[in-house]
Amino acid sequence: MKLSTRGRYGTRALLDLALHSDESPVPLKDIARRQQISLPYLEHLVTPLVAGEIIRSIRGAHGGISLLKSPEKIRLSEVIRLLEGSIAPVECVIHPDICPRVGSCAMCDIWDEIRKAICGVLEGTTLQELVERQRQKEASRNGETLGSEGAVRAEQPKDT
């Protein structure tokens, strides 16, 4: 139940793009450098986002990628689906025909509840929210350094 680098790097790249968007396209090279992702690998991560029409790319000098939709309209669920495929934790939830037990299997219900729970979080988070959250974190981090309000460092999660 771990996210692969596709999901992790891909969302970071998209967030980076949103943070550095100012009309002109952002070159992959810049994103790769800032996010410490190898350029050739990042190219592959970006492909499904282009195909999914979340971003568009422009080739040639001064090219790069840019958002196709405003950040408020880009939901994380859509991004993760493009990067990682179906969100369901088991196949039979989404393709009930592949499992002979569907219909008399109690576990399926639970797996589907988990799918819904994950979708709920992802659906309810937009790129815009991530941008704001990130800006705020960076600001408060700088503030910390300057000596003003820290104390945001919360407790560790109790369960894994």
Partner DNA sequence: TACCATGTTGATTCATTTAGTCGACAATAT
Partner DNA sequence: ATATTGTCGACTAAATGAATCAACATGGTA
Asked if 44 is part of the footprint of DNA (rule: CB under 7 A), the reply reads yes
Asked if 110 is part of the footprint of ligand FES (rule: CB under 6 A), the reply reads no
How many residues of this chain bind ligand FES (CB under 6 A)? 8
Q: Which stretch binds DNA (CB under 7 A): 33-41, 93-101, 109-117, 139-147?
A: 33-41
The residue (of 102 and 152) whose beta carbon lies closer to ligand FES is 102
Do residues 17 and 31 touch, judged by C-beta distance below 8 A? Answer: yes
Write the DSSP assignment of 94-128 as a string of letters.
Answer: H-GGG-TTTTS-HHHHHHHHHHHHHHHHHHT-BHH
**Integer Cα distance of 119 and 111 in angstroms:** 12
Helix axes 5-19, 39-51, angle to 10 degrees: 80
Asked if 106 is part of the footprint of its own copies (rule: CB under 8 A), the reply reads yes
Positions that interact with DNA (CB under 7 A): 4-6, 9, 25-29, 38, 40-41, 43-44, 46-47, 50, 57-65
